[in-house]
């Protein structure tokens, strides 16, 4: 006897709807590898409907004074807290994340980030008015860009949805957001929460819309004539495709793509503390984080000691059931991602050595053991390309110059960290490292007030912070004659 699958639906103009043509895709629980829900496989009619709803809602939302938009966002944050257990359950089932960690590590920052952008709504900044030509006064208006087409990833579907909708709504834009086809459940629940708040406060529910679907759905959103901006968090390939599609009508593009964060450990560091923090930052969320501490560069004088300690830490790191509070991470998100991680291990060169892990765990689901690989060279595939799994690589460097060369010697440039007690060295490294973020003696903390975003193939634009808020606005110059 089979159990009926839960039915997820699009959220368009305040209504939950199936895809116009009735197509669906199965949503799989990565803990079991079995489907537990269906979601719409949306096509052009669904995208048209969502964009029309967002476009119709935009003028009234744009024209609200910032204090009114702030009220909405603050109420949304309150509802997130009130319905936290529902959000946690949806995210844990859909992603296989440990319940306790979603509760402690995702809900509080999400709520804080929504409240931050609620405040940012009232801090629209521009240069002061002034006379730059005799007889004329110039002023700057900062305005919303319009309808935003947003695509969120599967590694943090809830939190990345917040990073997208909160600044967009705060700035006065309306939103059509698409979650990954493997993780739509929590985003659909978010739509219910936001729709309820908009309705309660008397605003059009077309301000926020959710479309479920696959890459083709995302392509239709980006290429649609209505959105003024396309924002995606995803792979480099997906980002390039979005940039190319958006260029056809010169849409604004906001891209947060892959990463290959170097973790540069110098010989004067506290090895035990560094290993503890790096293992956590490398294995958290199964390493499915574009800032994960998975590419370690260790000064050769402490290499062997560090690798031994890291391998021990890996062997003591636990993956498993979502209700086990001793678990650091759950399964990989989907079968394709498990195959990708296994492929990297299977293709390791002969000079590489697996110090810990290296294999799938269990007979069901997509679990992979905490892994450490040493003996690697700078041009090895696993050093150059993003694994997006619980695999930490280790290289040995001779001096600061080589550390900088190897750290910067990848196509990604999102995040990095430096581990040393030497303040001057830390400052030199923070200047030399070509990454959007440099942590010193830590790795992975983020705060709402500071920007997150990279360079090179890690994309452009910023999430979080006032810089992220600014990305969802446009600048207009207004000049007035003073002679009446």
Distance CA 277, CA 293 (A): 9
Distance CA 92, CA 32 (A): 12
Distance CA 406, CA 420 (A): 17
Catalytic residue among 55, 93, 106, 256: 256
Distance CA 352, CA 376 (A): 5
Whether 212 is catalytic is no
Separation in Å, CA 281 to CA 274, 291, 303, 443: 10, 9, 19, 6
Phi and psi angles of residue 68, each rounded to the nearest 5 degrees, phi first:
-75, -40
The answer to whether 298 and 406 have CB atoms below 8 angstroms apart is: no
With CA atoms as reference, report the closest residue to 23 among 48, 51, 45, 54.
Answer: 45
DSSP letter at 319 equals B
Within its chain, how far is the Cα of 173 from the centroid? Answer: 20
Within its chain, how far is the Cα of 322 from the centroid? Answer: 21
Whether 256 is catalytic is yes
Catalytic residue among 95, 148, 212, 290: 290
Separation in Å, CA 155 to CA 58, 169, 179, 212, 258: 30, 23, 11, 16, 12
Which tokens belong to 225? 């004539």
Residues marked active site are found at 256, 290
């Amino acid at each position: 006897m089979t159990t009926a699958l839960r039915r997820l639906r699009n959220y368009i103009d305040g209504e939950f709807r199936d895809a116009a043509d009735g197509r669906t895709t199965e949503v799989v629980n990565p803990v079991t590898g079995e489907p537990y829900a269906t979601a719409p496989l949306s096509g052009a009619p669904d995208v048209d409907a969502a964009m029309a709803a967002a476009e119709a809602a935009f003028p009234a939302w744009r024209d609200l004074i910032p204090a009114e938009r702030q009220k909405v966002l603050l109420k949304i944050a309150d509802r997130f807290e009130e319905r936290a257990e529902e959000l946690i359950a949806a995210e844990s089932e859909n992603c296989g994340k440990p319940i306790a960690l979603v509760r402690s590590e995702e809900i509080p920052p999400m709520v804080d980030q929504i409240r931050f952008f609620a405040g940012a709504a009232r801090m629209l900044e521009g240069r002061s008015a002034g006379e730059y030509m005799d007889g004329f006064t110039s002023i700057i208006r900062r305005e919303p860009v319009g309808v935003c087409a947003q695509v969120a990833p599967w590694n943090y579907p809830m939190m990345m949805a917040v990073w997208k909708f909160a600044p967009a709504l705060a700035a006065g834009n309306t939103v059509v957001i698409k979650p990954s086809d493997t993780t739509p459940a929590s985003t659909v629940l978010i739509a219910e929460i936001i729709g309820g708040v908009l309705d309660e406060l008397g605003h059009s529910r077309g301000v926020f819309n959710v479309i479920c679907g696959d890459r083709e759905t995302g392509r239709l959103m980006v290429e649609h004539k209505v959105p003024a901006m396309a924002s995606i968090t995803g792979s480099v390939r997906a980002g390039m495709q979005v940039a190319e599609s958006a260029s056809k009508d010169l849409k604004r593009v906001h891209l947060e793509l892959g990463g290959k964060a170097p973790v540069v450990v110098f010989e004067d560091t506290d090895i035990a503390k560094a290993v503890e923090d790096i293992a956590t930052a490398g294995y958290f969320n199964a390493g499915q984080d574009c800032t994960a501490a998975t590419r370690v560069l260790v000064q050769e004088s402490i290499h062997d000691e560090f690798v031994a300690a890291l391998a021990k830490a890996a062997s003591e790191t636990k993956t498993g059931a979502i209700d086990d509070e001793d678990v650091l991470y759950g399964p990989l998100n989907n079968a394709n991602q498990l195959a990708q991680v296994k492929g990297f291990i299977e293709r390791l060169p002969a000079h590489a050595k697996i110090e810990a892990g290296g294999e799938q765990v269990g007979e069901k689901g997509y679990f992979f053991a905490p892994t450490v690989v040493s003996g690697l060279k700078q041009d090895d595939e696993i050093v150059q390309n993003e694994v997006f799994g619980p695999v930490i690589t280790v290289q040995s460097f001779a001096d600061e110059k080589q550390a900088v060369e190897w750290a910067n010697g990848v196509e990604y440039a999102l995040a990095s960290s430096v581990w040393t007690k030497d303040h001057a060295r830390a400052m030199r490294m923070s200047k030399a490292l070509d990454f959007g973020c440099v942590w010193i003696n830590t790795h992975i903390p983020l705060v709402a007030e500071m920007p997150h975003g990279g360079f090179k193939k890690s994309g452009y634009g910023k999430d979080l912070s006032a810089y992220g808020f600014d990305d969802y606005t446009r600048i207009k110059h207004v000049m007035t004659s003073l002679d009446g």
